[in-house]
Chain A
Amino acid sequence: DQQVKQNSPSLSVQEGRISILNCDYTNSMFDYFLWYKKYPAEGPTFLISISSIKDKNEDGRFTVFLNKSAKHLSLHIVPSQPGDSAVYFCAATSAGGYQKVTFGTGTKLQVIP
């Protein structure tokens, strides 16, 4: 049972445009959400996070939006750069879970120069 879903396995965007990566979750106990970025032959690295008490968090070109009622979050990258080409994993966690994180299936983003 996939509790965190990324329904788009891949996405192609022109350099300079906006990239929007989507994520849905089913477990209402999740209250903290993260995005990780993974390049080939490397481990994932943390990108940005959001607590359920917020609906938006911004860090430079990256913004995460959270819609709790729809159990949906999205990552916006503006403007997209070729170096952003990677696999992006959405992840979620709940309080008291010994830092256990549930990851989504990932979306492969390709930014075309």
Chain B
Amino acid sequence: DVKVTQSSRYLVKRTGEKVFLECVQDMDHENMFWYRQDPGLGLRLIYFSYDVKMKEKGDIPEGYSVSREKKERFSLILESASTNQTSMYLCASSSSGQGERETQYFGPGTRLLVL
């Protein structure tokens, strides 16, 4: 079974703090993703990575950065947390496959509250 774990289920931070969200997958997947889920907006892609040290901006990268130093780990960084970054953050991973569109496997999510 694919397992994607996220470092925290719930997190409360203050405005201006630097926040690290960690994600680890155990299936040797090449691709990793960070999404945020907000009511009425669905899942929106923040950043993704298709290889170690590689990263690509998603649809809403502003205010975020990422790090992928090892294949199994993908970190999302909020450089200076703001209240509009209060959200559910979901990490996912997938294999590159052989020309097929591989399923994404999600972690349980981190609910972040920025005060």
**Interface residue ranges, A against B (CB under 8 Å):** 4, 6, 9, 32, 34, 41-46, 49, 89, 93, 98-106
Interface assignment of B56: CB less than 8 Å from any CB of chain A? yes
Q: Contacts A99-B31, A99-B50, A105-B41 hold; do A43 and B92 have CB atoms under 8 A apart?
A: yes
**Shortest Cβ distance from A110 into chain B, in angstroms?**
16
Task: Number of B interface residues at 8 Å Cβ cutoff, please give it.
Answer: 29
B80 to chain A: which residues have CB within 8 Å?
Answer: none
Chain A binding site: helix, strand, loop or mixed by DSSP?
loop
- CB pair A41 B58 closer than 8 Å: no
Chain B 7-45 against A: per-residue CB contact (8 Å), 1 yes, 0 no?
A: 001000000000000000000000101010000111111
Identify the closest chain A residue to B95 (Cβ).
Answer: A99
- CB pair A98 B109 closer than 8 Å: no
Known: A41-B108, A42-B108, A43-B109. 16 other contacts (CB 8 A): A41-B9, A43-B4, A44-B106, A46-B103, A89-B43, A98-B50, A99-B31, A99-B50, A100-B45, A101-B104, A103-B42, A103-B44, A105-B40, A105-B41, A105-B42, A106-B43
Which of A9, A93, A101, A102 counts the most B-chain CB atoms under 10 A from its CB?
A101
Interface assignment of B94: CB less than 8 Å from any CB of chain A? yes
